[in-house]
Amino acid sequence: YALLPTYCKTQEHSSFAYLTIKDRIPQILTKAIDTLHRHKNEMFEKHGEKGIEAEKKAISLLSKLRNESQTDKPIVPLVEKFADTDIWNQYLEHQQDLLNDSDGKPRWFYSPWLFVECYMYRRIHEAVIQSPPIDDFDVFKESKEQNFFESQESIMALCIHLRELMQIIEHLDENQLKNEFFKLLQISLWGNKCDLSLSGGESSSQKTNVINSLEDLKPFILVNDMEHLWSLLSNRKKTREKASIVRVDIVLDNSGFELVTDLILADFLLSSKLATEIHFYGKMIPWFVSDTTIHDFNWLIEQVKYSDHKWVSECGANWENYVKTGRWVYHDHIFWTLPHEFCAMSQVAPDLYAELQKAHLILFKGDLNYRKLTGDRKWEFTVPFHQALSGFHPAPLCSIRTLKAEIQVGLQPGQGEQLTASEPNWLTTGKYGVFQFDGPL
């Protein structure tokens, strides 16, 4: 490969990476500690004295973690046995090898940002699994549920929109169907603004009805490859034999409102016959505050199904049925919560890479996935997306991402510079978004 640019690093004090580790990580850890405190009684009721001891232990482990991060300690190996402990510690040794002797050891403020941030969430998980019997506690569950409940209005509006669309979908011509597809893609894109790790765990629910603002938000789409997605799926729909499969895989990001937008898009893909099955990938452990676990996925479908609004509950019933009948398949894989960039997947998780190769199209939601697709490296804005993927291409894929990190490739000459001049923080506010496609070779 051409020489790869260096990683975004936490030691660069002018970088968003540095601010994330300095300001937001302690905030997220403090909120996690506070959540554990507030569940003391529940733990006593469930587990008696042992529950209280466990809560105390988890809090002390998280406090120690917060202190390590705030005092720039060396990154220490994981000690608790878990499916990925060895892979993590090998990766840490690899980071050590990348540093020469004079640099000393990887530290919180002297390492690649992607590594440090992922490591932080994996250490939160270690603190919890070291504290039985509360070792299955999700310190972020409350804020993910709060995001869902606070977005009720917008969720209802989306479900009603979907039900109305379902009633007329048979009569839509190709162009009308394409426009409905594009609307739901944009709703899924802007759903990605609702991200609790950017807000440091502060509420980031969807208050307005995003359907009415799609036209206003269009100028904020910096790369728009939606036409590629349409032609790939509509051509396959036209040419496929009756019984053949068209599979779209969605690598999920945040639970709550964003997950609803993804499930609505997935429902449309089946109802429009643009796809015959959808595969979802979530996270095996609580991750980046709002990322979706299998518990969040099942809980949200349950909530929608038991809504007291008829059309909303119909969506939930349909979604539960898709899962039951195997038209929607949820996959868990440990790779998604490792620190690796995706170009390492075929080596580190060949089974997952082979699974993704079965898809006709893979949609990667969110900013963290974009950082891993591009290796969280300091690419020039105009480097082609295909090049930044560094060989990762299990299937035609599209990143659907709002910008919350100082990485963006595939722009036109001058486009990045122009944005920096007009809006210095365009890379990290979540205000801008992309549909970035890497198609059939």
Ligand X SMILES: O=P(O)(O)OC[C@@]1(O)O[C@H](CO)[C@@H](O)[C@@H]1O
Return the number of the residue (20 or 272) whose C-beta is nearest ligand X: 20
Residues contacting Mn ion: total by CB under 5 A:
4
CA atoms within 13 Å, Cβ hemisphere of 55: 22
Segments of 132-227 assigned E as strands: 221-224
CB of 218 to ligand X, least distance (A): 20
Q: Does 137 bind Mn ion (CB under 5 A)?
A: no
Return the number of the residue (312 or 373) whose C-beta is nearest ligand X: 373
CB of 114 to ligand X, least distance (A): 8
Find the binding residues for ligand X in span 244-263 (CB under 6 A): 253-254
Largest CA distance in the chain: 69
Q: Is 104 left (phi over 0), alpha (psi -120 to 50) or beta?
A: left
- Contact pattern for ligand X over residues 274 through 303, marking x by CB under 6 A: --------------x---------------
Using CB under 6 A, which of 155, 359, 368, 388 touches ligand X? 368
Report the DSSP pairing between strands 433-438 and 397-402.
antiparallel
Give SS3 for 344: helix
Find the binding residues for ligand X in span 420-439 (CB under 6 A): none
Q: Does 377 bind ligand X (CB under 6 A)?
A: no
C-beta separation of 85 from 78 below 8 A: yes
Return the number of the residue (121 or 230) whose C-beta is nearest ligand X: 121
- Sole window of 189-197, 229-237, 238-246, 377-385 interacting with ligand X (rule: CB under 6 A): 189-197
- Cα 426 to Cα 403: distance, rounded to the nearest angstrom: 8
Q: Does 291 bind Mn ion (CB under 5 A)?
A: yes
- Cα 29 to Cα 31: distance, rounded to the nearest angstrom: 5
Using CB under 6 A, which of 36, 156, 159, 198 touches ligand X? 198
- Cα 233 to Cα 198: distance, rounded to the nearest angstrom: 33
The DSSP annotation for 394-434 comes to: SSSEEEEEE--SS---SPPTTHHHHHHHH-TTTTTSS--EE
Q: Does 143 bind Mn ion (CB under 5 A)?
A: no
Using CB under 6 A, which of 69, 111, 147, 192 touches ligand X? 192
CB of 400 to Mn ion, least distance (A): 13
- Cα 263 to Cα 279: distance, rounded to the nearest angstrom: 11
CB of 335 to ligand X, least distance (A): 16
Return the number of the residue (54 or 62) whose C-beta is nearest ligand X: 62
Alpha helices by DSSP H, 306-357? 310-324, 345-348, 350-356
Find the binding residues for Mn ion in span 242-281 (CB under 5 A): 253-254
Q: Does 197 bind ligand X (CB under 6 A)?
A: yes
Return the number of the residue (201 or 396) whose C-beta is nearest ligand X: 201
Return the number of the residue (68 or 320) whose C-beta is nearest ligand X: 68
C-beta separation of 304 from 317 below 8 A: no
- Sole window of 6-14, 55-63, 191-199, 294-302 interacting with ligand X (rule: CB under 6 A): 191-199
| Cis peptide bond upstream of 133, omega within 30 | yes
Q: Which residues bind ligand X (CB under 6 A)?
A: 20, 24, 192, 195, 197-198, 253-254, 288, 366-368, 371, 404-405
